[in-house]
Amino acid sequence: MKLFYLDESGNPELSGSSDSYVLVAVGIPIEKWTSCDKAINQLKASYNLLQAEIHTAWMLRSYREQQEIDGFESMSHEERRQAVIRVREQKIQNYKANKSAQALKSLKKIYKNTEAYIHLTYSERERFIFDLVTKIKGWSYVRIFAEVIDKTDYHPPKPDLTPESQAFERIVTRIEKYLSHISSEQKEYGLLIHDECESVTASHVCNMKRYHRWGTFKSEIKHIIETPLFVSSNHTNMVQIADCCAYAVRRYYDSADSALYLPIKARADKIGSDIVGFNHYTSNNLCECDLCRAKRKRRGKG
């Protein structure tokens, strides 16, 4: 039995700010769950992050207040935390006096989402995420699946198919194929676990019920059980891992930065040397991303 942890990166609406919408599934055999969870906790503890939820995008932002504090790098973790909190409290007072309610709300949101990481410098936070993806790369039994939807050139097979549903259907199909492929001696089952998110819960459950009954566009579903289970990412390391993988893939597509993407891609599902677990969904026949180039090469057009 394998557990597949799903999370997304980028805005699913076509009008949203990101160019790509990415859905990732990280598949792990249940007998490896305890050792993976323990390894993540050990890494977190070494950065004083044991109680923190790892949200990669928030972690890798630049925190201006840290640059405003003299001698920040030479302080202890607790001193850094207290110093940043002091600067942030002053900024909040300043916003209350001089800025709009909306600006204050946005500022408070940033502070709330980053407060668990303010004791680490930017390069330490970057190193933590790099250590995390390096760990994932080393887990040879993990299989990662990713669907990248190019929202700038999105022409789905059915006009009302949203990027979210399209990505979900394609990931489910790929997981089903993978489970079928490894089920030669004994049937392997998979269960999907998704980050709790009100906007996708109803549609993913409804779609999964439909796939169980009628199959996806490309495949019958015989190896994935249940509808997806939804868990809170605050308490679940593996959903945080899926978030990190989704971020790594989107950063490659939206910012042409492959530093985190390449270690993650090393765990993509493959048949022989061909990557079959990742796909870039775009109408651009000349896309120069490594997945599209490899696909053209396989078809003899590269």
How far is Cα 236 from Cα 26, in angstroms, rounded to an integer?
13
When the beta carbons of 44 and 280 are compared against Zn ion, the nearer one is 280
Q: Does the footprint of Zn ion cover residue 146 (CB under 5 A)?
A: no
Contacts of 298 (CB under 8 A, 6+ apart): 274
When the beta carbons of 107 and 276 are compared against Zn ion, the nearer one is 276
**Nearest distance from C-beta of residue 262 to Zn ion, angstroms:** 16
Task: Provide long-range contacts, Cβ within 8 A and 24+ apart, for 78-86.
Answer: 78/119, 80/118, 80/119, 80/120, 81/118, 81/119, 84/118, 84/119, 85/118
How far is Cα 302 from Cα 8, in angstroms, rounded to an integer?
30
When the beta carbons of 193 and 292 are compared against Zn ion, the nearer one is 292
Of 229, 238, 183, the closest CA to residue 208 belongs to 229
Give the pair of three-digit tokens for residue 33: 């769950």
End-to-end alpha-carbon separation of the chain, Å?
Answer: 38
**Nearest distance from C-beta of residue 290 to Zn ion, angstroms:** 8
- Phi and psi at 151, nearest 5°, equal -80, -15
How far is Cα 212 from Cα 227, in angstroms, rounded to an integer?
9
From residue 56 to residue 95, what is the string marking binding to Zn ion with x (rule CB under 5 A)? Answer: ----------------------------------------
**Nearest distance from C-beta of residue 274 to Zn ion, angstroms:** 15
**110, 289, 294, 296: residue in contact with Zn ion (rule CB under 5 A):** 289
When the beta carbons of 65 and 147 are compared against Zn ion, the nearer one is 147
**Nearest distance from C-beta of residue 178 to Zn ion, angstroms:** 21
Tell which positions 18-37 bind Zn ion, by CB under 5 A. Answer: none
When the beta carbons of 276 and 287 are compared against Zn ion, the nearer one is 287
The stretch near Zn ion (CB under 5 A) out of 80-88, 207-215, 232-240, 285-293 is 285-293
The stretch near Zn ion (CB under 5 A) out of 117-125, 155-163, 192-200, 288-296 is 288-296
How far is Cα 130 from Cα 123, in angstroms, rounded to an integer?
10
**Nearest distance from C-beta of residue 263 to Zn ion, angstroms:** 19
**Nearest distance from C-beta of residue 287 to Zn ion, angstroms:** 3
**Nearest distance from C-beta of residue 187 to Zn ion, angstroms:** 34
The stretch near Zn ion (CB under 5 A) out of 23-31, 79-87, 106-114, 281-289 is 281-289
Tell which positions 241-280 bind Zn ion, by CB under 5 A. Answer: 280
**25, 144, 175, 292: residue in contact with Zn ion (rule CB under 5 A):** 292
**287, 294, 295, 296: residue in contact with Zn ion (rule CB under 5 A):** 287
When the beta carbons of 35 and 152 are compared against Zn ion, the nearer one is 152
The single-letter code of the amino acid at 62 is S
On whether the CB atoms of residues 115 and 107 are closer than 8 A, the answer is no
How far is Cα 194 from Cα 96, in angstroms, rounded to an integer?
38
**Nearest distance from C-beta of residue 295 to Zn ion, angstroms:** 8
Contacts of 150 (CB under 8 A, 6+ apart): 19, 20, 253, 280, 281, 282, 283, 284, 287
On whether the CB atoms of residues 6 and 23 are closer than 8 A, the answer is yes
Please give the residue ranges that form the binding site for Zn ion (CB under 5 A): 280, 287, 289, 292
